[in-house]
Structure 1
Amino acid sequence: MIRPYTAEDRPALEDFLMHQHIFARLNEQSVEMFRDENVADFEADGTVSLIIREDGRVVAIADLLKRHPVDGSLWLGLFIVDETLHGTGLAQTLYEQVEEEYMHPYQTEFRLGVLPHNVRARRFWERNGYVYEKDSITNKGLRVHVLKKRLIRPE
Structure 2
Amino acid sequence: MIHVYDATWRDKVAAFLLQQSAFASLNGQTPEAFRDENLTDFEAEGTVSLVFEERDVIAVVDLLKKHPIDGSLWLGLFVVEERFHGTGVAQRLYEQLEQEYMCPFQTVFRLGVLPHNKRARRFWERQGYVYEKDSVTARGDRVHVLKKVIS
Q: Give the TM-score taking structure 2 as reference length.
A: 0.99
Gaps of at least 5 residues in structure 2 are: none
Task: Quote the offset at 1:3 in angstroms.
Answer: 1.4
| Alignment-derived partner of residue 16 in structure 1 | 16
Identity of aligned residues (%): 66
Task: Quote the offset at 1:17 in angstroms.
Answer: 0.4
Mapping for residues 16-95 of structure 1, pairs under 5 Å: 16-55=16-55, 57-95=56-94
Instruction: Name the aligned partner's letter for residue 45 of structure 2.
Output: D
Root-mean-square deviation (Å): 0.4
| Alignment-derived partner of residue 5 in structure 1 | 5
* Length, aligned pairs only: 151
Q: Which runs of 4+ in 1 moved over 2 A?
A: none
Instruction: Name the aligned partner's letter for residue 118 of structure 2.
Output: V
Q: Deviation per CA, 1:6-44, whole angstroms, max 9, x where unpaired? A: 100000000000100000000000000000000000000
| Alignment-derived partner of residue 114 in structure 2 | 115
Q: Give the TM-score taking structure 1 as reference length.
A: 0.97
DSSP-derived class of the 1:79 partner: strand
Instruction: Name the aligned partner's letter for residue 13 of structure 1.
Output: V
Task: Quote the offset at 1:88 in angstroms.
Answer: 1.1
